[in-house]
Amino acid sequence: RAKSEGRNVYRFFEPGMDAMVRARRALETDLEAALRRQEFELDFQPIMNIASSEIVGAEALMRWHSPARGLVPPDDFIPVAEEIGLIVPLGEWALRNACTVAAGWPDGLRIAVNVSAVQIKSGTFARSVISALAFSGVPADRLELEITETVLMDESDTVLKTLSQLRDLGIRIALDDFGIGYSSLSYLRRFPVDKIKIDRSFIRDIDKRDTAAIVRTVIGLGAQLGITVTAEGVETEAQLEFLSREGCVEAQGYLIGAPSKAADINPLPKSRAAIRQSG
């Protein structure tokens, strides 16, 4: 009896599993071709200094315009690109492209690029960062690399060595999605980052007492450690007011500006007032 039940279960799952495997293979094949076919683009989202209301830089965010699938969000394709190793050439493309665009911006505006653990572990990472800077002419201190905890979770010291080497050149390291991982605080001791980006889930709930206390504490932590704190996902004036009152250094989110192509063609507006006028 158990045997036949087992067989039924097997039969029930088999076609579905097969379809999942095939869909996944198709996605991998499409992704591999996408780089050759130049289906990737970067959007740029402005980052504002809260005290001065000035735009101080922008984050490059990858977009995949697939002719067959439409616009695929990075959360759907970056993990797959990481698994098949495609993130290494794809990430190199993003770095080079982002730096090239940023080279046309007014002096001082910084460019932030997301990098994954797989890239940093590849062994060619430091070289490709240095080459992107040389190729574009962007000075090292205008480049910011956004990493997540998974990067610092790596036990090997190749990762920490690579990051220190880049930091010694003047490149800034930002810890992205701060607060949602397993032990964000312990990673601050493992590697001296230049910036903390508070995850947008905290900003979304900033009107709740407990979340407000956490955000306030992270802002204080940044001040104590001499680390710039950036709030992600700022969507309302009330959120920005709270952050301003608490002394948060930078803000990023739809309120300040959505990711867009505009930066591709025009230099970013210098201030929020300029953005409002043009919008």
Residue 235 contact, options ligand C2E, Mg ion, none, Cβ 5-8 Å cut-off depending on partner type: ligand C2E
Q: Which of 138, 134, 39 is nearest to 81 (CA)?
A: 39
Check residue 235 for interaction with ligand C2E (CB under 6 A). yes
Q: Name which position in 92, 146, 246, 250 contacts ligand C2E (CB under 6 A).
A: 146
Whole-angstrom CA distances from 179 to 2, 128, 195, 250, 272 are 47, 29, 13, 17, 27
Residue 247 contact, options Mg ion, ligand C2E, none, Cβ 5-8 Å cut-off depending on partner type: none
Select the span of 31-39, 68-76, 207-215, 261-269 touching ligand C2E (CB under 6 A): 68-76
Check residue 176 for interaction with ligand C2E (CB under 6 A). yes
The least CB distance from residue 257 to ligand C2E, in Å, is: 9
The strand pair at 195-198 and 228-231 is best described as: parallel
With respect to ligand C2E, which residue has the nearer C-beta, 13 or 254?
Answer: 254
Q: Which of 101, 106, 95 is nearest to 146 (CA)?
A: 95
Select the span of 108-116, 126-134, 206-214, 269-277 touching ligand C2E (CB under 6 A): 108-116
Select the span of 14-22, 73-81, 135-143, 207-215 touching ligand C2E (CB under 6 A): 73-81
Contact criterion met (CB below 8 Å) for 146 and 197: yes
Check residue 254 for interaction with ligand C2E (CB under 6 A). yes
Check residue 222 for interaction with ligand C2E (CB under 6 A). no
Q: Which of 73, 65, 75, 67 is nearest to 116 (CA)?
A: 75
Contact criterion met (CB below 8 Å) for 165 and 205: no
How far is the C-alpha of 32 from the C-alpha of 186, rounded, in Å? 36
Check residue 116 for interaction with ligand C2E (CB under 6 A). yes
The least CB distance from residue 106 to ligand C2E, in Å, is: 22
Q: Name which position in 47, 48, 50, 62 contacts ligand C2E (CB under 6 A).
A: 62
Contact criterion met (CB below 8 Å) for 126 and 165: yes
Check residue 45 for interaction with ligand C2E (CB under 6 A). yes
Residue 39 contact, options ligand C2E, Mg ion, none, Cβ 5-8 Å cut-off depending on partner type: none
With respect to Mg ion, which residue has the nearer C-beta, 116 or 123?
Answer: 116
Angle subtended at Cα 169 by Cα 168 and Cα 174, rounded to the nearest 5 degrees: 75
Strand partners, 260: 44
Select the span of 111-119, 128-136, 213-221, 262-270 touching ligand C2E (CB under 6 A): 111-119
The least CB distance from residue 230 to Mg ion, in Å, is: 9
Strand partners, 175: 147, 196
Binding site for Mg ion (CB under 5 A): 114, 146, 176-177, 232
What are the helix and strand counts (H, E) for the chain? 13, 9
The least CB distance from residue 197 to Mg ion, in Å, is: 5
Q: Which of 107, 123, 136, 196 is nearest to 165 (CA)?
A: 123
At 46, list the tokens: 């402005």
Sites of contact with ligand C2E (CB under 6 A): 45, 61-62, 73-75, 78, 91, 94, 114-116, 146, 176-177, 200, 232-235, 253-254, 259
